[in-house]
Amino acid sequence: MNPEDSRIQFECIKCGACCREEALLVTVTGRDIVRISMGLGLESSEVIRAFDFYLLSSSDSPEGLRDTPVVNTEQGPAHVALKKMENGDCIFLKDNLCMIHTIRPMVCMSFPFVFWDGGDEKTWGLSAMKEICPGLGSGPEVEISDLRELADAVLEDIALFKEFAEEWNRNEENPTVEHLVDTILSDQRFTV
């Protein structure tokens, strides 16, 4: 962790800017998908409607909040993310509030912070989109222990999804989105 961690002030004021930003891709991991699906009681066909698959080859894909693995689909390798409405709002934003607050993706829980596994040490930084967040620079100083806890959770989720993606991309001969979602939902590694 960086030594200057403790000098960062942050308090989420629930302005919803990060949920409305068209240029932010809300990428998800296997655990996010399973948690949201179980929390909302979604069938796999409904899960597919809540998520989007951003093809690597797409020139108009918005910037991601962080690097998550790509998974093969029938259209090509893609990032999995929450669907956005035409105006850029997240599909789960209603009256400027998150409808799935307690089960929201880890990337939403950690914004505007991002984390990397540097091997010996986990490091953190601020999102490339940090300017949209009015909570940065206000409120209490961020506790380094809180950042460490968040980093552990985020990086473990990403590592598990990378492991899954490598297996899926290497072995799956029928990489349809439908089959992908079914496989994620039945993978015990993602059940928390």
Q: Which is nearer to ligand SF4, 52 or 175 (CB)?
A: 52
Binding site for ligand SF4 (CB under 6 A): 12-19, 26, 82, 90, 92-93, 98, 100, 104-105, 108, 111-112, 132-135
Write down the least CB distance from residue 22 to ligand SF4, Å. Answer: 12
Three-class secondary structure assignment of 114-170: EEEECCCCEEEEECCCHHHCCCEEEEEECCHHHHHHHHHHHHHHHHHHHHHHHHHHH
Nearest distance in Å: CB 44, ligand SF4: 19
CB of 89 to ligand SF4, least distance (A): 8
**Closest distance to ligand SF4 from the beta carbon of 133 (Å):** 3
Q: Give the nearer residue to ligand SF4 in terms of CB position, either 34 or 108.
A: 108
Residue 81: CB partners within 8 Å, gap ≥ 6? Answer: 25, 26, 27, 28, 51, 52, 54, 64
